[in-house]
Amino acid sequence: MKIQVKVIPRSSENKVSKENDMSYRVKITAPPVDGKANKQLIEVLSKEFGVAKSKVKIVKGETGRNKIIVIEE
C-alpha cells in the first residue's frame, strides 16, 4: 500500500489523522533533527497499521514534511 503523509513534528502528542483514502496527517513529538522524526514516524505508522517497523518504508520526502510511504502487508 502506498500512502501520502504530511508530518507535523514537535507536536504535543503522536496522532494519525486520515484526510482521504490515501492521504494522512501524522503528528509526532520528535523534532526533525538527525532522523528522529522519521524514526518515530515509522514507529507510529507501524502501530497504526498493525505491521512490523521493517514493513514501513519512506520512499520519497526523507527530508521534507510531505512524504510517500510504502507499507508492505
- DSSP for 12-59 reads SS-EEEEEETTEEEEE-SS-SSTTHHHHHHHHHHHHHHT--GGGEEEE
pLDDT at 16: 97
pLDDT at 73: 83
pTM of the model: 0.93
Is domain 2-71 annotated with CATH 3.30.1200.10?
A: yes
Q: What does each of the 73 residues of the chain score in pLDDT, given as a tens digit?
A: 999 999 999 999 999 999 998 999 999 999 999 999 999 999 999 999 999 999 999 999 999 999 999 999 8
Specify the pLDDT at position 44: 97
**DSSP structure class, residue 73:** -
